[in-house]
Amino acid sequence: MRNGLFQDIQTTLLVTQKDLLDFWKAKMLVAFFMIMPILFMSMFGFMFPQTGESNPFSGKVSTPYKNAPIGIVLEDQGPFALQVADQFREMSSSTGLFKVQDFASFESAREQIVSGNLKGVVVIPVGFTEAFNSQRQATVIITVDDTNPQIASIIYSEATSIFKAISDGLSVSLIAKMDNGVDPSFVSKPISVENRDLIAGTANTFQFLAPGFIALTAVMGVLSGLGAAISREKEQGTMDGLMVAPVSRYSIVVGKILAQTVRGLIQGFMILIISMFLFGVRVYGNPLLMMLVMLLGVASFSGIGIIVTSMAAEQETAQMMMMMLQFPMMFLCGIVFPIEQLPNWLQAVGKLLPLYYAADALRKIMVLNASFSQVFLDIGVLGIYSVVTMGMAMPIFRKVMRR
């Protein structure tokens, strides 16, 4: 009989091989395993299309929401009001941002917003032309559909950008008329702002999403797969066959973790390939460092998975418990949107979860080509989580299996 560490490693690999073979033989399961990341990424990828430069005058669209229907109400029929309204319509059309419709009154436009036919309305109020002629600041009023705050924010921001551009243009022409020899562009805008990208190429929203999804998929794979694997063995009786064999309990568990890790990494890799070829995501960083982060991320959740499933009597209970853990993580750990958008207290909760650090490190490596030292904190946290949770999980597993 074999002894010691060598035997443990062999047992681990044997259990891993058996689990992967068992999985491979479930053809329907394998099919869904392959389809799931494709569907998942396609859905999110087409929901968050690629963006161009953020400039409404360049002709490149900077918003994922094109040709938004927006109303315009001219309460002031003065020449300045008419001029500004014309400019707004022209810029909206040339940039493809808005589809502008005229309305006689704010109330009639409001009705259309409530009906869902308009996303906002621009009102040029009475006194607009008079204010301009009196050399006072003239104000336009923008009202947006608040039922969707994200869209509302985009509409408001883009409409404001158009009016800012119109206002800047007017500044230049007004200053030119003063004829004091000063460059009107300089007076109007003494400071300009230029964007310098950290990464080559155009900004891509999916560049933010892809690392998070890769981390999430690998982790979810381990959590749900490991839970199901252990619970299924308990239910079908084969766990007794493993436990009655003269092998280390730890090697059995590590073998199962390894099998689930391989599955998670395969799905993570599929997501990476889909992201790269379908949605233009580029990997600027070290693949080995990425792999290290993924492995630590998986290890940190394996311990949690073992603790939870050791306590679940049935597979169904284990799966429910895993879902309860996985679902909030998507929203708390900066996977779908930046964690900074959450209230402070929820951000603090998110930062307690290892997935946050895995996604954060992957993002920095993939997008910013971060080095080991630059993601050391993330890796360190994942390492500590791995050691602590696995350290807690093994004795619990052993104790529960020998009840």
Partner 1 sequence: MGEKKAVIVTENLTKRFKDFTAVDHINLEVMEGEIFGFLGPNGAGKSTAIRMLTTLSEPSEGTAKIEGYDIRHQSDEVRKRIGLVAEKLILYPRLTAVENLMFFGQLYGLNGTYLRQRIDDLVKMVRLEAFKNMPIGGYSSGMRQRINIMRGLLHNPDILFLDEPTALLDPQSIQFVHDLIRELNEAGKTIILTTHIMEEADQLSSTIGIIDHGKMIAVDTPAELKSKNGSESLLEVFLKLTGRDLRDSASNRVPMGMMRGPA
Q: Which residues bind partner 1 (CB under 8 A)?
A: 1-2, 7, 10-11, 14, 18, 21-22, 25-26, 234, 236-247, 313, 401-403
Closest distance of CB 248 from partner 1, Å:
9
Q: Are strands 98-103 and 68-74 parallel, antiparallel or unpaired?
A: parallel
Closest distance of CB 205 from partner 1, Å:
41
For residue 390, what are its two tokens?
Answer: 């696995």
Closest distance of CB 23 from partner 1, Å:
9
Closest CA to 64 of 138, 143, 148, 175: 148
Closer by beta carbon to partner 1, 18 or else 110: 18
Closest CA to 170 of 142, 210, 137, 209: 137
Closer by beta carbon to partner 1, 21 or else 39: 21
- Sign for the pseudo-dihedral over CA of 162, 164, 169, 173: positive
Rounded to an integer, what distance in angstroms lies between the CA atom of residue 255 and that of residue 362?
A: 25
Closer by beta carbon to partner 1, 205 or else 317: 317
Question: Is there a contact between 91 and 56 (Cβ–Cβ < 8 Å)?
Answer: yes
Q: Amino acid identity, residue 398?
A: R
Q: Which residues contact 158 (CB under 8 A, 6 or more apart)?
A: 56, 62, 63, 68, 97, 98
Helix 376-401, helix 354-368: angle, nearest 10: 140
Closer by beta carbon to partner 1, 249 or else 282: 249
Closer by beta carbon to partner 1, 117 or else 238: 238
Question: Is there a contact between 283 and 40 (Cβ–Cβ < 8 Å)?
Answer: no
DSSP 341: G
Question: Is there a contact between 209 and 48 (Cβ–Cβ < 8 Å)?
Answer: yes
Closest distance of CB 31 from partner 1, Å:
15
Closest distance of CB 238 from partner 1, Å:
5
Closer by beta carbon to partner 1, 16 or else 204: 16
Closer by beta carbon to partner 1, 191 or else 244: 244
Closest distance of CB 29 from partner 1, Å:
10
